[in-house]
Amino acid sequence: MRYHTPSTFEDAARLAAEASGITRFLAGGTDVLVQMRAGAVIPDDLIDLKKIPGVSEIAQTEEGGWRIGIAVPGARLGAHAGLCADWPGVVEGMELVGSTQVQGRATLTGNLCNGSPAADSVPGLVAAGATVEISGPSGLRSAPVEDIPAGPGKTTLQPGEVISAILLPPRGTAGGDAYQRFIPRTEMDIAVVGCAISLTLDGNSIASARVALGAVAPTVLLVPEAAAAITGTTLDDDALAALTTAVEAACTPISDKRGTAEFRTEVAGVLARRVAKIAYARAKGAEA
Amino acid sequence: MSKIHVTTTVNGDQVEFLADPRESLLDCLRDRLGLTGSKEGCGTGDCGACSVRLDGTLVCSCLVLGVEAEGKTVETIEGMANGNELHPLQRKFVEHAALQCGFCTPGILVAAKALLEQNDNPTETEIRYWLAGNLCRCTGYDKIVRAVMDAAAELRGEAA
Ligand SMILES: Cc1cc2nc3c(=O)[nH]c(=O)nc-3n(C[C@H](O)[C@H](O)[C@H](O)COP(=O)(O)OP(=O)(O)OC[C@H]3O[C@@H](n4cnc5c(N)ncnc54)[C@H](O)[C@@H]3O)c2cc1C
Ligand code: FES
Ligand code: FES
């Protein structure tokens, strides 16, 4: 295994483009090292991105959104007051990842690029309308987060492409988001179902919404039908019932030791109702 | 496989070692530097027996590569006592019998010290969540949590 420590994303992309064998980027390493240890993936080239200047920074963008460096670990997101105030749902998704020790290392970008359908931070990013900046052989491009996962363990990133930042849009006034997952215990487990919702209000009525589901399909899903079910409503009982129907219809889960397909589908509806209420309350000014 | 030369600071001392790039920091600490206090329970981030601080941040040393320690500071259990004088956490673990086989103890002590440095008066719930990534198979967690609370009280200058 060759270990590289490029000092620019251009160099990182070039190293990846030139590599012919198994290539991995190293952010927090909490997936990469586990896979190496298990013998599942032993990279020929491992490209450590943490020496690139700026990768550990969280910065406000000119438009009032946030630019999150690809090496910012979960614990740092949780400690950032401004980010927690704007996007509590994104932060709470990432904070569910692993233990205190894992939080010291694990990143949003690694969670996204590992490609797990149950990745806890991804529904929150999708609901928030986050985008990624991608450096590649032909320069920079950007893509919505929901376009990155391609199936379990797979992404749509092309050889030689590396994510160079995650961008959250401005929250604006009267907006709120939330994420919850179902696991059979309170800590340290993989989501059976996850759901994130971000919405904005016009008075008491929902002006816009984005609903994302985890662990109920081969990738994290954005469900526009579920968003449409609550848009224009005050999240009354009819709206919650329509949300449940739309969410359940979007689920195509597998049955495994964590839960049957029927169970996952039902829990997705339950979580969507709970998460919608929290996001609504936060948009009304409730503290996260 | 060519080895990489690593210079890092461990418990305040500058050290050097040669590491295979696939080797974990845990293996480097134990096998290259002879610091066998950090333990390997799982090697996959689940048990916390390998807990160390890397530039102050609590991490699993089994999930860090040795080569990543270049230019950083590492704190392990070996740096906790001051000579023969135990750290209050270590003393309270002995007093409360918060260990049996002791395999999990170095990791729990390193993790608990990191908690008390950022929160000198944690609740029982805060301690249990903070230590959720530190597994103990023999003692049971009650004595461990009580020892941490008692050490925190002593460090705050309260008689427990
Ligand atoms: C004990 C334990 C508990 C865990 N619990 C959870 C949990 O509850 N929920 C959950 O979702 N996950 C969990 N995980 C999995 C893991 O911690 C997360 O997926 C984490 O967010 C991965 O981030 P990382 O920075 O460590 O990624 P790394 O391991 O560094 O990288 C992961 C993948 O992303 C790619 N990658 C990294 N950076 C980039 C980049 N900039 N551009 C392109 N590709 C990139 C790498 O090539 C690799 O394939 C757990 C892991 C452990 C060890
Ligand atoms: S050995 Fe590192 S967490 Fe178990
Ligand atoms: S004392 Fe044996 S594992 Fe904790």
- A29/B111 Cβ within 8 A: no
Tell which residue, A70, A76, A71, has the closest CA to residue A133: A70
**pLDDT at position B160 over 60:** no
Q: What angle do CA B25, B27, B32 make, to 5 degrees?
A: 100
Report the 10 Å Cβ neighbour count for A62: 7
Give the amino acid at A75: A
Q: Which two tokens stand for residue A235?
A: 């999240």
Secondary structure E strands in A7-84: 23-26, 45-48, 58-60, 66-68
Give the amino acid at A201: L
**Per-residue pLDDT in tens (0 to 9) along chain A, 288 residues:** 999 999 999 999 999 999 999 999 999 999 999 999 988 899 999 999 999 999 999 999 999 999 999 999 999 999 999 999 999 999 999 999 999 999 999 999 999 999 999 999 999 999 999 999 999 998 999 999 999 999 999 999 999 999 999 999 999 889 999 999 999 877 778 899 999 999 999 999 999 999 999 999 999 999 999 999 999 999 999 999 999 999 999 999 999 888 899 999 999 999 999 999 999 999 999 876
Give the amino acid at B42: C
What is the CATH code for B4-79?
Answer: 3.10.20.30
- B111 contacts in chain A (CB < 8 Å): 100-101
| pTM for the model | 0.96
* Alpha-carbon gap, residue A105 to A71, rounded angstroms: 8
Q: Which two tokens stand for residue A178?
A: 């939330």
The domain ranges of chain A are: 2-116+131-168, 175-283
What architecture is the B88-155 domain classified under in CATH? Orthogonal Bundle (1.10)
Q: Are A165 and A132 in contact (CB under 8 A)?
A: yes
DSSP A151-173: ETTEESPPTT-EEEEEEEPP--S
3-class secondary-structure state, position B60: strand
DSSP B37: T
- A101/B60 Cβ within 8 A: yes
Half-sphere exposure of A105 (CA within 13 A, CB side): 26
What architecture is the A175-283 domain classified under in CATH? 2-Layer Sandwich (3.30)
3-class secondary-structure state, position B16: strand
- B64/A29 Cβ within 8 A: yes
* Alpha-carbon gap, residue A211 to A247, rounded angstroms: 9
- pLDDT score of A190: 87
Which residue of A lies nearest to B126 if distances are taken between CA atoms? A100
- Give residue B133's Cα distance to chain centre: 12
The domain ranges of chain B are: 4-79, 88-155
Asked whether A163 lines ligand 1 (CB < 6 A), one says yes
Q: Are A122 and A147 in contact (CB under 8 A)?
A: no
* CATH 3.30.465.10 assigned to A2-116+131-168: yes
- pLDDT score of A186: 72
- A102 contacts in chain B (CB < 8 Å): 45, 60, 63, 133
Give the amino acid at A110: G
Q: Are B45 and A30 in contact (CB under 8 A)?
A: yes
Q: How many CB pairs under 8 A join A and B?
A: 81
Q: Which two tokens stand for residue A105?
A: 């290392």
Which residue of A lies nearest to B24 if distances are taken between CA atoms? A33
Report the 10 Å Cβ neighbour count for A8: 13
3-class secondary-structure state, position A83: helix
Asked whether B97 lines ligand 3 (CB < 6 A), one says no
* Alpha-carbon gap, residue B39 to A22, rounded angstroms: 30
Output b/e per residue, B19-53; b: 16+ Cβ within 10 A.
bbbbbbbbbbbbebbebebbbbbebbbbbbbbbbb
* Partner B contacted by A7 (CB < 8 A): no
* Alpha-carbon gap, residue B23 to B42, rounded angstroms: 15
- A2/B65 Cβ within 8 A: no
